[in-house]
Amino acid sequence: MTVRMFVCPACKEKRGIDISYGMPGSDLIEQVERGDAVLGGCMQEIGAPDRQCLACGHQWEIARRGAPQQA
């Protein structure tokens, strides 16, 4: 499986990956061990980060189309 990388808004490196929430299965645990995935915990709360940069560790929430903007 190819990991899709995203540009980090903090360091501008293309090393951002999705953060996975919930109980990980064996496939996800293997991805974490390889450094291809990040675990965010059992439950994803509102405003929790969606991505993490492998270069600098910055975590961020992605903007979704049609979602109301927080003040």
What is the reported pLDDT for 11?
Answer: 97
Residue 66, domain member (yes or no):
no
Residue 68, domain member (yes or no):
no
Residue 16, domain member (yes or no):
yes
Residue 20, domain member (yes or no):
yes
Which residue pairs from 58-64 have beta carbons closer than 8 angstroms and sit at least 24 positions apart in sequence? 58/8, 58/9, 58/10, 58/11, 59/19, 60/8, 60/9, 60/10, 60/16
| Tens of pLDDT, residues 1-54 | 567 899 999 999 999 999 999 999 999 999 889 888 899 998 888 889 999 999
**Total domain count for the chain?**
1
Query: Taking the C-alpha atoms of 37, 59, 50 and 8 in order, what is their torsion angle to the nearest 10 degrees?
Result: -80
Q: Is 37 exposed, middle or buried (0-12, 13-18, 19+ CB in 10 A)?
A: buried
What is the reported pLDDT for 1?
Answer: 55
| Domain encompassing residue 53 | 6-59
Query: What is this structure's pTM?
Result: 0.76
